């Protein structure tokens, strides 16, 4: 596994629609492993392949975060690590959307900024796993938001494309400030993820 540099807002790869994966090869499995390592180092909920510079339709979701969010607050207290872990979604697609919700989102490619975004409350989506087996699932809450956010990445969109121009300008300023203030001695991991070219 290799820790990958995270592409930030302004990167050309984040603006492109990604290509479907025609076949699950050792290279695809390696990319999924690299994405998993990068996601865990960054402490994120999910990551899409364009965020590590690869214009293909792969997402890694940390099911531990999603299951943790679904637990009642009193059950979260004092509980150890979740038995669920990262899961790779190959060629994911949303097949239905229902309702509307607004929740504050952040993004590994827009570090240092969060904003409320409107999305469908419930989605049904399907994907292939790394063995090529098909899956389908209905989700709501954080999982539904997460899937919509990550599939936007696969279509060349960031969550800040869904907010006002003024807020986008603020976001860009905060990202520049975040990157400028990175110190390799204070936070070596963040510097490796964002600061090294």
Q: CB of 70 within 8 A of CB of 45?
A: no
Q: How many CA atoms lie within 13 A of 49 on its CB side?
A: 26
> Annotated catalytic sites, by residue?
150
Nearest one of 101, 150, 103 to 125, comparing CA atoms: 150
Nearest one of 35, 61, 54 to 146, comparing CA atoms: 61
Tokens of 91: 């060629």
For the CA atoms of 194, 163, 65, 94, the dihedral, rounded to the nearest 10 degrees, stands at -110
Q: Is 166 exposed, middle or buried (0-12, 13-18, 19+ CB in 10 A)?
A: exposed
Q: Is 157 helix (H, G, I), strand (E, B) or coil?
A: coil
């Amino acid at each position: 596994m290799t820790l990958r540099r995270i592409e930030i807002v302004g990167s050309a790869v984040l603006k492109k629609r990604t290509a479907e994966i025609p076949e699950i090869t050792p290279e695809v499995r390696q990319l999924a492993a690299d994405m998993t390592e990068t996601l865990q180092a960054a402490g994120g909920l999910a990551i899409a392949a364009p965020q590590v510079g690869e214009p293909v339709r792969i997402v890694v979701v940390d099911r531990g975060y999603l299951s943790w969010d679904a637990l009642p607050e009193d059950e979260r207290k004092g509980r150890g690590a979740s038995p669920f872990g990262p899961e790779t979604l190959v060629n994911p697609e949303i097949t239905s959307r229902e309702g509307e919700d607004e929740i504050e989102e952040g993004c590994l490619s827009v570090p240092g900024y969060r904003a409320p975004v409107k999305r469908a409350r419930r989605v049904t989506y399907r994907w292939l796993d790394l063995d090529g087996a098909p899956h389908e699932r209905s989700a709501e809450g954080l999982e539904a938001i997460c899937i919509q956010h990550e599939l936007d990445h696969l279509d060349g969109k960031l969550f800040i494309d869904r907010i006002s121009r003024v807020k986008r300008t603020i976001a860009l300023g905060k990202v520049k400030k975040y990157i400028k203030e990175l110190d390799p001695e204070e936070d070596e991991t963040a510097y490796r993820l964002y600061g090294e070219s």
